[in-house]
Amino acid sequence: MTTLAFDVYGTLIDTHGVVRLLTTFLGEAHAPIFSQRWRDKQLEYSFRQGLMRDYQGFKFCTTAALAYTAAEFERKYSLGLSNAQQTALIEHYSQLPAFNDVRESLLRLKNSGHRCYAFSNGSHEAVSELLKNAKIFDLFDDIVSCEEVQSYKPNPDVYHHFTKKTSAEGKGTWLISSNSFDIIGAAAVGWNTAWLQRTDDALFDPWDIEPTQIIASLDKLKL
Domain boundary residue, one of 73, 95, 117: 95
Same domain, 72 and 105: no
Last residue of a domain, one of 53, 72, 95: 95
**Mean pLDDT of the chain, nearest integer:** 97
Tell me which residue range forms the domain holding 210: 3-14+97-220
pLDDT of residue 118: 98
Strands in the chain per DSSP E: 3-6, 115-120, 142-145, 173-177, 192-196, 213-215
What's the confidence (pLDDT) of residue 1?
76
Predicted confidence at residue 136, as pLDDT, reads 98
Percentage of the residues of the chain whose pLDDT score is greater than 90: 98
The pLDDT, as a whole number, for residue 169 is: 84
Co-location of 172 and 198 in the same domain: yes
Please give the average per-residue pLDDT across 9-21, as a whole number: 97
Q: Looking at residue 190, what is its pLDDT?
A: 96
- Tell me: do 56 and 101 sit in the same domain: no
Per-residue 3-state assignment (H helix, E strand, C coil) for 196-210: ECCCCCCCCCCCCCC
Is residue 28 located within the same domain as residue 80? Answer: yes
- Total number of domains in the chain: 2
